[in-house]
Structure 1
Amino acid sequence: MTFAENYHDWLRDAYAMEKQAEKMLSTLIERSDRYPQFRQRLEQHLIETRHQITRLDEIFERNDISHSLIKDTVSKLEAFGMASVTTLSSDEIVKNAISSAVFEQLEVACYTTLITAARQAGDLAAVPVFESILQQEKSMAEWALRHLPDITDQFLLRSAPAGAGAKH
């Protein structure tokens, strides 16, 4: 494959990943009522994600890249379970917070790769877009990891039987 073919393929993957993130974030928001700080940050990142999708669409248009393979790529990502949102488990919020942190790291790696690929393929106009998105993803990844202990503590305190931990 040429530099451009690899770049376009990875761009399609990034687009599919963002579409999957949009679905995942929407579901997580619906299921995090008892964790307002987590919910608020997810809502903020959903807005960022939707803007990222728009910016990726602009790169597709400018490069005359077909969106025809995106549905297939999205299906592959969903089947692979990259953004699995756990439901019906008592510790759903903790598992969702972990999944969110992991997914954000995937996005960081993807945009880091796209920056190099865009340069090699000669799409220098896309580099600042990817750098901007990368900063948003890093910020969300850092937030998710930094707040994982808080979410876990809140869950454990809410789920502990009365009197549990009284000895500590």
Structure 2
Amino acid sequence: MAESTGMREIFVTGLKNAHAMENQALSIMKPQVSRIENYPEVAARLEQHVRETEGQMARIDDLLQELDKGPSSLKDMALALTGGMAAVGHSVAGDEILKNSFANYAFEHFEIASYKSLLTLAELGGFSFATSALQTNLREEEQMAQWIDENLRTVTLRFASLREAGETAKV
């Protein structure tokens, strides 16, 4: 299908939503990283994903610029606020590291679905210039989701061990 005004609008909206989504991801991950003490492997992987997420936002910025558009400041701000509230909400839980792991796993899959949808829209609308950047973002999200999945047992065992020993197990 050739590029149409309607398809362009749908694609631009999707890119703006993805930018805000990644901004939300940063507002969730950065507070988590700053609080982690007993799970260095989780902190290291989150720090790596923060850098990846910053790169994802830059790629989305480039795509929006290619379309003579920019991110939505309102969406970015609103989703960053909700992400920050989620991070604060988990910080008071006795099992914060587990709640963060569950939420991060779910959020990664939300991002995966978003990028798969954007790739479909890029194909449908003839926005082939966007495919490589979107595939890179998708691959990074899939790798992060896989890492969380592969490490959930280890994090849970460490949490239980620390809790049983009477040590701080939250983060």
Q: Is TM more than 0.5 here?
A: yes
What TM-score does the superposition give when structure 1 sets the normalisation length?
0.87
- Whether the 8 Å CA contact 2:14–2:118 is kept in 1: the answer is yes
Identify the residue that residue 112 of structure 1 maps to in structure 2.
116
Q: Per the alignment, do residues 14 and 82 of structure 1 end up closer, same or farther by CA in structure 2, a change over 3 Å counting?
A: farther
Q: Determine whether 1:28 maps to 2:29.
A: no
What TM-score does the superposition give when structure 2 sets the normalisation length?
0.86
Once residues 142 and 54 of structure 1 are traced to their aligned partners in structure 2, the CA distance between those partners, rounded to angstroms, is 23
Q: Per the alignment, do residues 107 and 64 of structure 1 end up closer, same or farther by CA in structure 2, a change over 3 Å counting?
A: same
Aligned-pair identity (%)? 29
Identify the residue that residue 84 of structure 1 maps to in structure 2.
86
Q: Which of 125, 144, 154 is the aligned partner of 1:140?
A: 144
Higher RCO (Cα < 8 Å, 6 or more apart): 2
Matching of residues 1-168 of structure 1 within 5 Å? 2-67=6-71, 70-78=72-80, 84-85=86-87, 86-160=90-164
RMSD: 1.9
Once residues 131 and 153 of structure 1 are traced to their aligned partners in structure 2, the CA distance between those partners, rounded to angstroms, is 34
**1:101 maps to amino acid:** Y
Once residues 83 and 129 of structure 1 are traced to their aligned partners in structure 2, the CA distance between those partners, rounded to angstroms, is 30
List runs of 5+ in structure 1 lacking aligned partners.
Answer: 163-168
Runs of 4+ residues over 4 Å off in structure 1: 78-83
TM-aligned CA deviation for residue 74 of structure 1: 2.9
List runs of 5+ in structure 2 lacking aligned partners.
Answer: 167-171
Where is the helix percentage greater, Structure 1 or Structure 2? Answer: 2
- For the residue of structure 1 that corresponds to 2:133, the secondary structure is helix
